[in-house]
Chain A
């Protein structure tokens, strides 16, 4: 069951919400309902792996309490901290990467790795990559005294299990979620209104934009790149950039919307990333909770340590983004994707440093840097790089990566084009319209239009929302619905 499925909308969410509203408004009752709902939701994904999740919650709960009790004994405190970190990372590495590392090692030694890969291929507990980071952040924050260890097992269970965030995040920090869960929540009508708007926009982004564009232009181009022209391959690639954005930003908005129905605010995960004019800016707007996690718990500490990495900004980018690639998936194309982004950030930082030197000596460069033409060029370069970098991200293996790259460069064998019908193009245009609406919503004009809409009488707004629902029912393709990021 995912946030877009029928049983979620028809049964799970209305009944769960009703139960939440009916229980006494105390943290204990409200959290108990959320634990039950989240457990049902979790069991609907990977029930055989539920014990791993239960064990993780218990171990991390106890470890944090122990750390707090042992604050006066630094040695023991450190030992418990590292044990918790090793437990969390070890679990993720073993379940997600053991097969990949072992198979890569065997391939390096020239042996057949198929048997190794399949014997070390485990069913992953849903969302393990996300909640592992959440738990590591919790342990670090408790160890450093930034957050008090949670003393209520029910609160801690909701912190980890809260169902909208489980499959694909956002990855909330302890200080963002724990205080909300420790208090009773009054479900304000304005929250329901905000939640419904986020849910509807998320649903449109996922099912109209991502799935609509995927079925018309992305899947045909990627299914058989060796037979497609360069133009078709480029259309398929740009389409994929929009698809993956719609898929993940859509999911994040749906999760945030669901959270609001229960009076809980999850952190934002996207802020119009296609407006970015540098890659650093892009990563501050795309998958914000992951990238800020990587920055705060990995890059920042690494760069400011007294050791080897101190001040080695560029090497830090390459290492951290390489790990980010690996986090996204246990395959070489993902690792390559990560390294490419690390390198791009390093190159941009060097370029920016040089530019800042020029700015220091001559203010003309300051003016140039702020000019419209400069920003357009920077935007073009940033977005083009992001789109091209998706080739290794989408490729299943190195062969597919090579074939698609060849198609982009016009080296495909037959060079036929994707031929959507007029109707299919109309559906793509509708999808792009929703995509544009989301982006305009991030501008001052968009916010003004939205506020004007909110001032309209309730029935008129209802008709507006109803027409969006009708559009979704007409245009959303059936048979899709899996979220790309749920597999990470």
Chain B
């Protein structure tokens, strides 16, 4: 999967579940922390992980799955796309 497609998928999910059409407006910087800027709570991250695993049919690497490695669009993209088994 391409980075921009994954980005759109995540933004759609954010819109569907948390921001109802405002996700793209809120996401002015792909490097911003979602936790610190109220984009997603820790519980939301768990939901996002489950969604991505189910949708993409992969198991994200738990060893590297920390707040520091997953908090923000770019970090998520890096983590998911760097993962073995991510659909091309």
Interface residues of B (CB under 8 A from A): 16-18, 20-21, 41-43, 45-47, 49-50, 53, 59-60, 62-64, 66-68
User: B60 contacts which chain A residues (CB < 8 A)?
Assistant: 304
Q: A280-B41, A280-B43 are known contacts; what are 4 more A-B pairs with Cβ within 8 Å?
A: A144-B64, A304-B49, A304-B53, A306-B59
State in angstroms the CA–CA spacing of A195 and B26 once bound together: 36
- Cβ of A24 within 8 Å of any chain B Cβ, yes or no, is no
State in angstroms the CA–CA spacing of A280 and B35 once bound together: 13
- In the complex, the answer to whether B50 meets A304 with C-beta atoms within 8 Å is yes
State in angstroms the CA–CA spacing of A304 and B62 once bound together: 9
Interface of B is mostly: helix
- Cβ of A292 within 8 Å of any chain B Cβ, yes or no, is yes
User: B43 contacts which chain A residues (CB < 8 A)?
Assistant: 280, 313, 349
Known: A304-B50, A304-B53, A363-B21. A284 touches B16 (CB 8 A): no
- In the complex, the answer to whether B49 meets A146 with C-beta atoms within 8 Å is no
**Could you jot down 7 A-B contacts, CB within 8 Å?**
A144-B63, A145-B63, A299-B46, A303-B46, A303-B50, A313-B43, A360-B20
State in angstroms the CA–CA spacing of A145 and B62 once bound together: 11
State in angstroms the CA–CA spacing of A86 and B17 once bound together: 39
- Cβ of A32 within 8 Å of any chain B Cβ, yes or no, is no
State in angstroms the CA–CA spacing of A306 and B53 once bound together: 11
Closest A residue, CB atoms, query B42:
A295
The one of B20, B46, B66, B68 in contact with A304, judged by C-beta atoms closer than 8 angstroms, is B46
- In the complex, the answer to whether B21 meets A146 with C-beta atoms within 8 Å is no
With a 10 A CB-CB cut-off, give which of B41, B60, B68 has the most chain A CB atoms. B41
State in angstroms the CA–CA spacing of A145 and B47 once bound together: 24
B46 CB to closest chain A CB (Å) equals: 5
State in angstroms the CA–CA spacing of A313 and B44 once bound together: 11
State in angstroms the CA–CA spacing of A360 and B49 once bound together: 21
- In the complex, the answer to whether A284 meets B20 with C-beta atoms within 8 Å is no
